[in-house]
Structure 1
Amino acid sequence: MTIDAHTHSRRSDGTQAPAELIADAAASGIAVLGLTDHDTVSGWDESARAAREHGVGLLRGMEVSCRWEGISVHLLSYLHDPRGAELTATADAAREARLRRTRTMAERLAEDFPITWEGVRAQAGDGATIGRPHLADALVAAGVVPDRSAAFAQILSGASKYYVSLPTISPVDAIRMVREAGGVSVFAHPMAASRGRVVPREGFAQMIAAGLDGLEVDHRDNPPEARERLRAIAADNGLLTTGSSDYHGAGKPNRLGEHSTAPEQLAALVERASGSDFLPG
């Protein structure tokens, strides 16, 4: 039973519509799919209709960008109620900030590369959370780089002269907001050193004290030895553990179902949630 708890559609930085993502999941033998677009739940309704059609379980979620002491933290919020929640207002503000930041970066890039803001927007789906991946797609379309990975490694990296930092909230605050919205919070790819600095022990302790529910352990960006440390942290603190692909369609090499969440962990996650319903397949 493959449970892929973390994927993205065109509503943020994936390359497929939510319904297309669900159809691919069904064709790939995925029993349960987590849709966790960045700072938006706009794909929830479409994915729910497709999940019912294809008989795929749907774990509705959202990925929230945070920062702890200057270190990037991605927090997955599962099964929260988006209606009237502080978390929703924060996500709305984050999307607006991401849009402004992306446009500024596009203007800087346009000084050296044949891209335009209109071209960047054309890479995003309707209602998508526009961000650096769409800048990467515009650079690929212009023939500047071969793929998104190359764009992020070079031109769009945090050390690049084109980079603009994104204002974000503390994961401690985000965890509180998720809980107040009836959701379940999971720290995504927490030891992904290839992405930059990772949160130290002190940061883990603060997030756990704030009510963190789980850790995304089985993820391609967590090295094997780090996964064992994460399992130990989870066991010592009563945290859930998840596994996922972090699939983005054609945008990244990640493949659907390459890592999976254990059924008993999914059941425990659903049991903790009170904001939105899990849709079984």
Structure 2
Amino acid sequence: MIRGTIITENGGYADLHLHTRLSDGTLSVEELLALTKRKGLRCISITDHDNLDSYKIAEGPARDIGIELIPGIEISAVWQGKDIHILGYFCDPTNLALNMELEDFAKQRIARVKAIIKKLNALGIDITYEKVHSYCKGKVIGRPHIAMSLVDEEYIGNFAEAFTKYLGDGCVAFVEKKGLNPQQTIRLIENAGGIAVLAHPYKSGLSDEFIEDMVEWGIKGIEVYSPAQKGAVGRKYKEMAQRFGLVGTGGSDFHTEGGAYPPGCMKMPYTVVQALKECREKSRAEWF
């Protein structure tokens, strides 16, 4: 059950793609809430990677400051060796099957990080799992935390270099991710009462044909408001959403304060939230 949402007058803006330090962001949940309040947002969803812990922390404080909070998560599915990010909205945070799967994801992430560190050690880079884990403030450890360690130990000059030189696809320390495929991920979200939305298709380099496959597999929305999808690119995905009957959602994909894309920068109207709720109710009627 979703409790404590704030319904105010019509209008306003929403940001449905935000991260905290419970995955790969730099702000605490409380700091992010304060920032979104300062930005004047009416509705937000914190979509940390592979965990729903932020919702449990933010639900009460968000209600207290008058921000509508939608439970959110960004799950990394795997398809032909490629990460496919799928957002889940309105999932029940207490759903047993979802939480069991998320526990497995956490274990897989630890194994992957340790395998990457082993490759880095073989290259003469002396970092440890304990050092990398010190940057992780939640259950979800990943390549960004390795990158932070590499920067701190001065093996590289900046965060992005970690991925272009060591951690990115095909690089010397890359280890392929294991996980659910997109169909399984969509089903996992739906079985937890949620709505599955394809995240940043342009940034992920997804073909139009693959997006059509995702529609066949049951995706209900696609991000059209996204920092990498402006101008003609943004219009293309809005047209695709209309053509396939998808909800065109989005957000800043915010990770760190002071960056180029702060919360609310996409100016996504609250009407998108209303469309997402309508989609959820329609899906619930179909399930029952």
TM-score calculated relative to the size of structure 1? 0.88
CA displacement at 1:200 relative to structure 2: 2.3
Structure 2: distance between partners of 1:67 and 1:129: 17
Equivalent residue in structure 2 for 1:247, among 254, 265, 276: 254
Residue-pair matches, total = 269
1:60 match: 71
1:270 match: 277
CA displacement at 1:250 relative to structure 2: 5.0
- Which protein is bigger by CA-based radius of gyration? 2
Q: Is the 8 A contact 2:24 2:145 kept in 1?
A: yes
CA displacement at 1:82 relative to structure 2: 3.3
Structure 1: distance between partners of 2:132 and 2:108: 16
Amino acid of the residue matched to residue 247 of structure 1?
A: F
1:226 has 2:233 as partner: yes
Q: Secondary structure at the match of 2:180?
A: coil
Q: Secondary structure at the match of 2:17?
A: strand
Structure 2: distance between partners of 1:69 and 1:159: 14
2:128 match: 116
Q: Is the 8 A contact 1:139 1:145 kept in 2?
A: yes
Structure 2: distance between partners of 1:260 and 1:251: 18
Structure 1: distance between partners of 2:121 and 2:42: 44
Q: Map of 1:134-153 to 2, 5 A cutoff?
A: 134-153=145-164
TM-score calculated relative to the size of structure 2? 0.86
Report percent identity of matched pairs.
30
CA displacement at 1:7 relative to structure 2: 0.7
Q: Map of 1:138-177 to 2, 5 A cutoff?
A: 138-177=149-188
Structure 1: distance between partners of 2:208 and 2:19: 29
Q: Map of 1:1-281 to 2, 5 A cutoff?
A: 1-111=12-122, 112-125=124-137, 127-192=138-203, 198-222=205-229, 224-249=231-256, 253-273=260-280
Unaligned runs of 5+ in 2: 1-11, 282-288
Residue 208 to residue 55, structure 1, CA distance change in 2 (3 Å):
same
Structure 2: distance between partners of 1:242 and 1:259: 11
Structure 2: distance between partners of 1:21 and 1:236: 35
Q: Greater RCO between the two (CA within 8 Å, min separation 6)? A: 1
Structure 1: distance between partners of 2:64 and 2:39: 15
Q: Secondary structure at the match of 2:146?
A: helix
Q: Secondary structure at the match of 1:48?
A: helix
Residue 226 to residue 251, structure 1, CA distance change in 2 (3 Å):
same
Amino acid of the residue matched to residue 77 of structure 1?
A: G
CA displacement at 1:143 relative to structure 2: 2.1
